[in-house]
Amino acid sequence: MTKYGVVVGSTRKNSYSEGVAKAIVAGLPEGSEVNYLNIADLPLYNQDLDANSPAVYDEFRAAVQAQDAFIFVTPEHNRNIPAALKNALDVASRPWGQNSWAGKPALVASQSISGISGVLAHHSLRQTLVFLDMPTMQQPELYIGNTMQLADEEGNITNEGTKEFLAGAGKSFSEFAAKFVD
């Protein structure tokens, strides 16, 4: 069974991004292994640490390596991805030559409480995934705007049409990921 790592770009409790992630996960085939990776406790990446990595870096890199495919859901912070998400991508991309993300298929979704749907963060993330060598699903594109109107106060997506759309994307991603997973 495919192991899916889920990386949520928000570290906030009751995050809408997490709600979107859960709605995508609902469309994965029954029995899929799903692991939500914690990015909140990673110290800010510093290349000097490559010589003697903190244990949390080692654990995070090992957790990334253990997954077959990744679902990324990001909010937009000042027209880009949140610093915590960029930091997590950087940490597991190093030391040089040991990119833990390489070759793993990815889904990208963005969401925002505004109508713009985090589109700039979405494409900034896609740009980084190119360099990290992650084949990324092109369609459907997942830009979720006005999330506050689609979810409850805990961030869970409650709008039926949105739930159906996101679950469908999860199913499409399982088919896409299967092309890359042994």
Site of interaction with ligand FMN (CB under 6 A): 10, 12, 15-17, 75-79, 112-114, 116, 118
Q: What is the smallest separation between the CB atom of 75 and ligand FMN, expressed in angstroms? A: 3
Residue 21 near residue 34, CB atoms below 8 Å: no
Residue 61 near residue 92, CB atoms below 8 Å: yes
Q: What is the smallest separation between the CB atom of 114 and ligand FMN, expressed in angstroms? A: 4
Taking each helix axis as running N to C, give the angle between helix 83-93 and helix 119-131, from 0 to 180 degrees, rounded to the nearest 10.
10
CB nearer ligand FMN, residue 153 or residue 182:
153
CB atoms within 10 A of CB 9: 30
CB nearer ligand FMN, residue 44 or residue 79:
79
CB nearer ligand FMN, residue 13 or residue 179:
13
Q: What CA–CA distance (Å, rounded) separates 131 from 151?
A: 33
Rg, Å, the chain Cα set: 16
CB nearer ligand FMN, residue 99 or residue 112:
112
Q: What is the smallest separation between the CB atom of 63 and ligand FMN, expressed in angstroms? A: 21
